[in-house]
Amino acid sequence: MSDDKDGKDGKGQELSTEDRFKALEAKIDELSGTNDRLSKELDKTRKEAAKRRVERNSRDEKLKALAAELGINPDGNESDADLMKEIKALRREVESGKLRDRFQRVAKKVGADPDLTQAVLAQRGSLGDVDSDDALEALVKEAVDNNPRLRAEQPTSVGDDQQGAGGGGGGKTMNDLIRGAAGR
């Protein structure tokens, strides 16, 4: 029993009132079902949006708490992107400090001047690829072997231990010469 907009069946004949009523009830049921389905989808979408809002707000709160703990964003006018940039910069600074500490420890173990050796290796760009103490130790050893000036050896005596052309040194240290000049 299909009907068109004029209240007629597919053959162009008038529908009875009862048939019209049944057709209208069928349309109402159809629209009601569609309405129920759309309502359910809308509720589902609203719940998902609420869940995402809660997650975003939680993330924002954690980020702001971390920033406040690190002393960033005291006035609250910075955006999340600015906060992330500052946090990344602080992370790089911490990593750099950790590398510096590791380097000091390894350089002393190898017998290298820590500051000079680190400066030379940083200039070459060799420190970025080091991920373990063993690799760092091998890198420092290689640098000291290739350049003896990077050694941290301190002279055992002050002065010239060899005799000069006039034979005046006699193997004395600077301290011996000073004591002799002072009459001790």
Same domain, 32 and 86: no
Residues 6+ positions from 177 with CB-CB distance below 8 Å: 159
pLDDT at 63: 79
- The answer to whether residues 112 and 144 touch, using CB atoms and an 8 Å cutoff, is yes
Q: Which residue has the higher pLDDT, 108 or 76?
A: 108
pLDDT at 76: 60
Same domain, 10 and 56: yes
- How far apart (Å, rounded) are the C-alpha atoms in residues 79 and 68? 13
Q: Say if residue 9's pLDDT is above 60.
A: no
Is 86 domain-assigned? yes
Model pTM score? 0.40
The pLDDT mean for the chain works out to: 76
Is 164 domain-assigned? no
Number of domains in the chain: 2
Same domain, 90 and 56: no
Q: Which of 69, 95, 112 is the last residue of a domain?
A: 69
Is 90 domain-assigned? yes
Tens digit of each residue's pLDDT (9 = 90 or more) over 128-145: 777 777 888 888 888 888
Q: Which of 69, 95, 119 is the last residue of a domain?
A: 69
- How far apart (Å, rounded) are the C-alpha atoms in residues 67 and 88? 11
Tens digit of each residue's pLDDT (9 = 90 or more) over 35-64: 788 888 889 999 999 999 999 999 888 877
- Structural domain harbouring 36: 1-69
Q: Which residue has the higher pLDDT, 80 or 44?
A: 44
Same domain, 64 and 96: no
pLDDT at 52: 93
Is 145 domain-assigned? yes
Pick from 144, 115, 141, 146: nearest CA to 130: 141
* Structure tokens that stand for 74 in this block: 């005291």
Q: Which residue has the higher pLDDT, 86 or 57?
A: 57
Is 93 domain-assigned? yes
Tens digit of each residue's pLDDT (9 = 90 or more) over 109-132: 888 888 888 888 888 877 777 777
Is 125 domain-assigned? yes
Same domain, 27 and 89: no
Same domain, 120 and 144: yes
pLDDT at 127: 72
Same domain, 39 and 8: yes
Same domain, 63 and 125: no
Is 74 domain-assigned? no
